[in-house]
Every structure is written in C-alpha cells, then in structure tokens.
Structure 1
Amino acid sequence: MDTATHVVMGIALGGAATLDPVIGSDPAASSAVMAAAILGSQAPDLDTILKLRNNAVYIRNHRGITHSIPAVLLWSILITGLIYFLYPGIDLLHLALWTFIAVALHVFVDIFNAYGTQALRPFSDKWIALGLINTFDPIIFLIHIIAILVWVFGAPQGPVFAVMFAFLAVYYVLRYAMNKKIAHEIKEKFNRVTDITISPTLRFRNWHLAITTETHFYVARHVNGKLTVLDEFDRVPVPQTELIKAAELDHNISAFLSFSPVYRWEVEEYSDHYEVRFIDLRYRSKGYYPFVAIVQLDTSLAIVSSYTGWIFSEEKLRKKLHLIPD
C-alpha cells in the first residue's frame, strides 16, 4: 500500500490497541503503542531509500528482504527497543506484541497488491501478489479516516474499530470474488491460458490485465464488467544468443528480469551498436508501456549504457541516460 494508507492503518491499530486492558489503562502505554504502531506500519518501506542509489537496486530489493519473515521480527525488535527507551516502565510484552502486529500487518496488506512482496523469504523467493487491491485504494483509505475521526470525537473505540475491521473484511472478500470472476472470464475467452496478471486501479470496477497463452501475450482491461483487448503480441521466447546473454549480464536488465513476470523483448541492430529492450506488459498507460529495461552494447558486445525504470517518452529516456542515438 502507499505511505498515507499505511499511516492511517497504524493510527487505527494504535487506537484498537487501547482495547487491550494493559494498554488502555495506562496513558503512557497508550501513547507508546500508538507511536510503535505508526512506526511499525512504515518500517518495511524504508527500503525506498534504495532509490537514491539506482533503480536496479530498488527494483531488485523493494518489498523483498525488508518484507521477509526475519525482517518483520527485526523491525519489531528495533522499534520495541526504541519506544521502550522513550517510555521506560511500560509493559514490554504488550508493547512488543502490538509493534509486531503493526509490522506484520504492513507486510500482509502489501501481498494484496499487484506488486506484491517476498513475504515468505527465506523459505521462498517467490513474489506473492494477489492483485486484489490497488496500491492506493480510496475506499480503504476513507474507511480508516472515518473510523479515526469518529473515535477522536468521542465514540468508543470498541464498536468503531469492530465495524471498521468487519467492513474491511467484507470489502476484501468482495474484491477477491471480483478478481476470480475476471480470471474465469479470461479462461473462457482465451485458449490455452498459462498465466494471468490482474492489476486493480483507483476505480472500483476498472482492472488492467496481462494475459499469457501458449502462443500470445494479450494486454487488456476490464471496465464495468466488459473485457476489452488493447494489444496482442506473439509470444516469442527470448533467444539465448551471445548478444542476449551479454545483455542479461547488465545489472539493470537482470534486476528487471528478476521482478517482471510478463514482458516482451526487442533487439535492434545499428551500424555501430546493438540495443536490447525488455518491456513489462502489466503497465500500459495511454497506449505506452512505461516500465522498461534497456541496454546498449557495442559491436564487441561490451555494455555501453543501460537503464531500467519508468519512462514515458523515448526522448526523455535517451536524454536522461545519454544513450547512443538510433
């Protein structure tokens, strides 16, 4: 989820924690747990700082090790220690419990996005991405805001947060049912489907689709119950030529390939260089596919320049990276 949603989730969890008699009966403990819940709801996303290094490192690691099982435990210990240092004397066990819940909840809700997490590391490096909830879901955000305001203005936290969590549970079940219905419709419409990526959007009944069959890639959308194919590409395996092997050694290309589950590739040959490009088919915007990885190699297959990330025009890509002109 986005930062704002994680913040309101932390505040709501801090409010719900006051139902714990040990926390609710001690104003200092209530303040401490609120701080821990907010920090815990943000901690796993501290890997965003990796963007300062480069996109390849960020793509390879965001929602990876920082969202793993060991990381959840480590974040919980570090935040508990910090808060206990600031609020000595409060119940340490209950502080640790609510801190752990806040961190674990962050990782748990992230698996419902199309981006997903590697939440099962170190047992599995598989990305878990259920594709039910957009990174920012206005309904989920609004539900939290309403519950927090009602609580702040004096309503008892028990009924307020019970209703909020019940509503959220129903909402998630509804989104799951919608996702499965779309997947069933796709399998009915297309032959020999091997993979489906369903990405929710800000709009409740608007979904982006990347469909893989044995022979083709289809990029589509599902809006208000209607499925529309936007693009169709032949599914051509990436050939393991010397050029491709050299390109895959580049850190930007390898980061892209470690993350993207559905993409197509292009190779262009020029008089003095080659260009290899991988294009993620999950993210189509106004007829353009902005999430790419590109590498240019000279005629001896030495890497000259490369890039991976979001780019919305060829001009900006080449200007930013000083790539060899076509």
Structure 2
Amino acid sequence: MDTGTHLVMGFALGGLATLDPVIADSTVNFHAVLAATVIGSQIPDIDTVLKFKNNAVYIRNHRGVTHSVPAVLLWPILISIFIHLIVPEANFAHLWMWSFIAVFLHVFVDIFNAYGTQALRPFSSRWVALGVINTFDPYIFSIHVVGLFLWIEGANPGITFLVMYFIIFLYYLSRFYFQSKIRLSVLEIIPEAETIIIAPTMRYSHWRIAVTSKDTFYVGRGYKESVTILDTFKRKPVPNTPIFQAAKKDKNISAFLSFSPVYRWEVNERKDGYEVRFIDLRYRSNGHYPFVAVVNLNEDLTITGSYTGWIYNSDKLKKKLDVAPR
C-alpha cells in the first residue's frame, strides 16, 4: 500500500489496541503503543530511501529484505526497545505485541497489491503479488479516515476499528470475487492463455490485464465482468546476439528483467549505435506503456546511457539517457 494508507492504518491499530485491557487502563501504555503501531506501520518501507540512489537499486530491493520473515520478527523488537527506552514504564510485552501486529499487517496487505513483496524470504525470493488491491485504494483509505474521524468525535475506538476492519475484510472478498470473474472472461476469449496477470486500478470495476500465450502477448482491460483486448504482440524470445548480451550487462536492464514478468523488446539503430528497449506490458495507460528499461550502445557496444522507470514523454527519457552510465 502507499505511505498515506499505511499511516492511517497505524493510527487505526492504535485505536484497536484499546480493546486490550492493559492498553485501555493506562494512558502511558496507550501512548506508547500508539507510537509503536504508527512506526510499525511505516518501518518496512524504510527501503524507499534506495530510490535516492537510483531506480535500478530501488527496483531490485524495494519490498525485499525489509519485508522478509526475519525483518517481520526483528522490526517489532527494535521498535519496542526504542520506545521502552523513552517510556520505561510502558508494558514491554504488549508494546512488542502491537508492534508485531503493525509490522505484520503492513507486509500482509502489501501482498495483495500487483507490485507484491518478497515476504517469503529467505525461504523463497519469488514475488508474492495477488493483484486484487491497488497500491492506493481510495475505498480502504476513506474507510480508515472515517474511522479516525469517528474516534475524534468520541466513538469507542476499539469497537469502531473492529467494525471497520470487518468491512474491509468483506471488501477484500469482493475484490477476489470480481478478479476471478475477470479471469474466467479472459479464458473464454483466450483459452490458450498460459499466464494471466490481472492488476487492479483505483476504480473499483476497472482492471488491467496482461496475458501470455505460446506465441502472443495480449494486453487488455476489464470492466466489471467483461474483458476487452486492446493490443496484441508477437511473443519473441530475446535474441542471443552481441547487442543484447551487451545490453543485459547494464544494471538498469538487469533490474528491469529481474522484476518484470511480461515484457516485449525492440532494438533501433542510431547514428552512433543502437537503442535497446524493454517494455513492461502490465501498465498500459491511455495507449502508452510507461514502465520501461532503455540502454544506448555505441558502435563498439559500449553502454553510453541507460534508464529504467516510468516515462511518459520522450523528452524526459532523453534527459535521463544523456548521462554517462554509472
């Protein structure tokens, strides 16, 4: 989920914690636990700072080790120790328990996004992405905001957020239901489909679809239970040529290929060499595929510039590529 949603979730968990008698009967414990749930709801995303280094490092590592099994166990201990040093009279056991719930819930809800997370590390490095909830879901965020508003207005926070999370649970079930309906519709249109990726959008009834068959990539959109195919591309393996061998050595290309499960490629000759481009097919928007990895090579197949990330216009891409590779 996005930072804002994780933040309101942290406050909501602090309110839910008032169902714990140890927290409800002590102002000190309540304030300590509220701080713990807010911090715990944010701390797994500390790896976002990697974006300041470069996109390649960020793509390879975001939602990786900081969302892993060891991290989920370690973060609550560190948070509890930190807060307990500041508020030594706080109940450490309950501080740890609610810290753990906040961290676990952060990682758990991220699994339902299309981006996913490597929550099974170190047992498995595969990305777990169920693709039923958008990274920012306006309904989930709004329900939390309403719950917080009711709390401010005097409602019992424990009961309020218990009801709120039951409503969100039902919302998740509805998302799984409609995603399954879209999947069935895809199979009716493309019975030979080998891989079906269905990604949510911010709009409840709208889905992005990318399908792989033996010979073809299909890109479409889903609305309610219907599916429309918008683009088709011939599925071609990446050539094992000197140009592509050189391109794959670039860190931006390598990061893209480690992250993207469905993409097409193209190579174009330039006056001074070649441009190799990989295009992720999951994020079609207004006829455009904005998530790409591009590398420029000179005639000697030396990398002269590269980039991976979101590009919505050619001028921005040119600026990104007009820098020497690092």
The two structures share one fold, judged by TM-score above 0.5: yes
Deviation (angstroms), 1:188: 1.6
4+ residue segments displaced more than 6 Å = none
Tell me what 2:70 maps to: 70
State the 1:159 CA deviation.
2.6
- Map 1:107-122; keep pairs closer than 5 Å: 107-122=107-122
Does the 8 Å CA contact 1:279/1:289 hold for their aligned counterparts?
Answer: yes
Residues 40 and 99 in structure 2, CA contact (< 8 A), matched pair in contact too: yes
**Counterpart residue number, 1:26:** 26
- Structure 2, unaligned runs of 5 or more: none
1:100 aligns with 2:111: no
Quick check: 2:28–2:89 contact (8 Å CA) kept in 1? no
CA RMSD of aligned residues (A): 1.3
The alignment partner of 2:289 has SS state of coil
**C-alpha offsets along residues 161-205 of structure 1, whole Å, 9 cap, x if unaligned?**
221111111110110111111111111210311111111111110
Read off the aligned partner of 1:273 and give its amino acid letter: G
Of the structure 1 ranges 124-133 and 147-156, higher mean CA displacement relative to structure 2 is found in 147-156
**Equivalent position of 2:45 in the other structure:** 45
* 2:206 alignment partner in structure 1: 206
Identity value in percent: 57
CA-CA distance at 1:67 after TM superposition = 0.8
Larger mean Cα displacement after TM superposition, 260-269 or 150-159: 150-159
Deviations 1:143-162 (A, max 9, x none): 11112221222222343122
Deviation larger for 75-84 or 267-276? 267-276
Give, in whole Å, the separation in 1 of the partners of 2:113 and 2:267.
32
1:296–1:323 Cα contact (<8 Å) kept: no
Which residue of structure 1 aligns with residue 261 of structure 2? 261
Secondary structure of the structure 1 residue equivalent to 2:261? coil
TM-score, normalising length: structure 2: 0.96
Q: Residue 194 of structure 2: SS of its match in structure 1? A: strand
The answer to whether the aligner puts 1:186 opposite 2:186 as a matched pair is yes
How much does 1:323 deviate? 6.7
Q: Alignment length, in residue pairs?
A: 324
Does 2:2 correspond to 1:2? yes
Secondary structure class of the residue paired with 1:301: coil
CA distance in 1, matches of 2:106, 2:323: 39
Q: Distance in 1 between matches of 2:297 and 2:321?
A: 14
Residue ranges of structure 1 left out of the alignment (5+ in a row): none
Residue 275 (1) aligns with residue 256 (2): no
CA deviation string 1:12-60 (max 9, x = no partner)? 1011111111111110010000001000000111111111100100111
Asked if the contact 2:182/2:224 (under 8 Å) is kept, the reply is no
Aligned to 1:135: 135
Residues 196-275 of structure 1: matches in 2 within 5 Å?
196-275=196-275
Moved more, 138-147 or 156-165: 156-165
Return the offset for 1:269: 2.4
Alignment of 1:152-171 (within 5 A): 152-171=152-171
The amino acid of 1:284's aligned partner reads R
The Cα shift of 1:244 comes to: 1.1
